[in-house]
Amino acid sequence: MKRTDKEELVRGLKKKMEGADALYYTDFTGLSVKNMTALRRSFRKAGVEYVVIKNSLALRAVNESGLLAPKLKGPTGVVIAKDAISAAKALTDFAKKNEDRPSVKGGLYEGAEIDAATVKKLALMPTRDEALSMFLGYLNSVLSGFAGVLDARKVQLEAAAPAADNATENVSNG
């Protein structure tokens, strides 16, 4: 591979990393071509990019983008994600179905280095959309409860109103 081709690959990877929330480094050893295609497809559904590139070129792209990358050994696939949680979920779900392959070597999340355990913890968290729907559900339940209390108070006042009318009539007649 010519130097210009390598520089072009690094520029392309660096451009993909711009605005990324997370990078996960994976070891895809042991995955068949069929499984690798399925992995890429599941990432595409999640809006995540998966790139297989030489370790030295991946490290150069990460370092040029202002982040510090750990040394990588062996075959490496780089998961580039704008939504770190969706990417972690897609990665761990696929690994569960395929004998823990690809394995996570580590990564970067919001500029900080993370390990495989952190990626698994991220996968357990709700996605942004799930968190928003949970928040809206809680907000709706509070508002529904408040509306119920107001309605109950209205019923109490309506029930007390005829009794108050009768009491004022008795006082004026008496």
| CATH code, domain carrying 33 | 3.30.70.1730
Q: What is the pLDDT of residue 39?
A: 93
Q: What is the pLDDT of residue 160?
A: 82
Q: Do residue 151 and residue 106 come from a single domain?
A: no
Q: Do residue 92 and residue 53 come from a single domain?
A: yes
Q: Do residue 63 and residue 138 come from a single domain?
A: no
Instruction: Tell me, yes or no, if the pTM score tops 0.75.
Output: no
- Side-chain-side CA neighbours of 110 within 13 Å: the count stands at 6
Which H or E element spans position 67?
A: none
- Last residue within a domain, chosen from 89, 107, 125: 125
Q: What is the pLDDT of residue 120?
A: 92
Beta strands in the chain (DSSP E): 22-27, 49-52, 77-81, 103-109, 112-114
Q: Cα 134 to chain center, whole Å?
A: 14
**Cα-based distances in Å from 128 to 83, 92, 122, 125, 161:** 8, 18, 12, 9, 49
Q: What is the pLDDT of residue 16?
A: 83
* Structural domain total, the chain: 2
**Sign of the C-alpha dihedral computed for residues 100, 101, 104 and 109 taken in this order:** negative
Q: What are phi and psi of 19, to 5 degrees?
A: 80, 0
- Measured CA to CA, the distance from residue 153 to residue 26 in angstroms comes to 60
Q: Do residue 18 and residue 80 come from a single domain?
A: yes
Q: What is the pLDDT of residue 169?
A: 64
Q: Do residue 64 and residue 132 come from a single domain?
A: no
pLDDT along the chain (174 residues), means of 10: 84 84 90 92 91 86 74 86 91 91 89 89 88 92 92 89 66 58
List the domain range (segments joined by +) for residue 167.
127-174
The answer for residues whose C-beta is within 8 angstroms of residue 84's C-beta and 6 or more apart is 21, 22, 109, 110, 122
